[in-house]
Amino acid sequence: MPSTLGPSPASEPVPAPRSAAAHGAGERLGVPAVLLATIAWGSGSVATKVVTASSMSTVMVRLWLGVPIGLSLWALRRRWPTWASLRRCIPGGILFGLHVSLFFSALKLTSVANVTFIGALQPVIVLLVAGRWLGERVTARIVVLSVTAMAGVALIVYGNEAVPGALAGDLLAVANIVVWTVFFLYTKRARHHVETIDYQATMTVIAAAVVTPVALLLGASASEIDGYDWFWLVFIALVPGTLGHLMMNWAHRFVDATVSSIVILAVPAVAAVGAALFIDEPLTAIQVVGGAIVLASVGTIVARTPRDESAALAVAEVDSP
């Protein structure tokens, strides 16, 4: 039986029951929502690399740009979350703030390719814990597609002719994917008790409040942000930060964690194309082959998930700014 985190589920409100038609629509649209989040997050990795300010200044400003967006979502609903719901969001906000700090710092020290490849190791961690912690059944097909997709990711990365990134950046990327996976799985559990907008908005506010004092102590300043940095940070806050997370958080109730974690392996492919277009990291023939393998694996999952009852039990999330 799945374990619980935080207060007992019986003591907290849960999202309102959905009609059979609404649940059916969620199952049909769940994987496309994950795909949309994947595209948003892949573009966010490239945009983060383009920002010229220091990592902690970038993190602090990016998180605070997300706060008014979250508050606006609450205002549009004209209903504030309960204290019980807020308590469920606190760990997620702390983990999200730590993730964004590690992710942005890693991108400043190493290549987009290295960071996204290390991030693609997430399904391995999920496969190790999903069965016991989430009560999900991992099929042989999921394992095979996971290995195949990650082999494609490896080709994308090692086909890159750029100079390898610094060891410090790679180590930060490893730490980040561990933190992100914990956040990934915690969010999946929390979404059984908290509505999408409540979780999204609260998570962002808490992350900004937790990260800001640390960032200021490390010398971060909003004055570092100027010119095109503001454009890219607003883009990151709106597209990967808001659209990407909203899509994934909504899909949490309809898509299996092991399935979504493989679908988002397409993030490195999106990032590789974006890097070639915007930051002068051209794609090699090996990278093109690797991208084709990743997309073929993802396409197989997308095509079969709605009809595969053995893989329709729950959901999670991926590495994003």
pLDDT over 90 at 95, yes or no: yes
Beta carbons of 41 and 320 less than 8 angstroms apart: yes
User: Would you say residue 10 has pLDDT above 90?
Assistant: no
Report d(CA 46, CA 44) in Å as an integer.
Answer: 5
Q: For residue 154, what pLDDT band results from cuts at 50, 70 and 90?
A: confident
Say what the pLDDT of residue 301 is: 65
* Contact status, residue 200 vs residue 109, Cβ threshold 8 Å: no
Instruction: Please give the residue that has the higher pLDDT: either 215 or 139.
Output: 215
Q: What's the CA angle centered on 153, arms 151 and 156, to 5 degrees? A: 115
Tell me the residue type at 130. A
pTM given for the model: 0.71
Residue of 5, 321, 273 whose CA lies nearest to 176? 321
In terms of average pLDDT, the best of 18-22, 106-110, 116-120 is 106-110
Residues 277 and 220 sit within 8 Å (Cβ to Cβ): no
Structure tokens at 186: 């915690």
Tokens of 112: 């987009």
pLDDT of residue 133: 62
Hey, what amino acid is at 70? G
Indicate left, alpha or beta for 47 from its phi (over 0: left) and psi (-120 to 50: alpha). alpha
Q: How far is CA 283 from CA 118, 155, 159, 275, 279, in A?
A: 19, 11, 8, 9, 11
- Give the residue-averaged pLDDT of 282-294: 79
Position 131 scores a pLDDT of 58
Structure tokens at 127: 């496969």
Using CA atoms, how far apart are residues 111 and 170, in angstroms rounded to an integer?
Answer: 9
Q: Which of 205-209, 259-263, 317-321 has the highest mean pLDDT?
A: 205-209
Cβ burial, residue 268 (10 Å; 0-12/13-18/19+): buried
The answer on pLDDT for 98 being more than 70 is yes
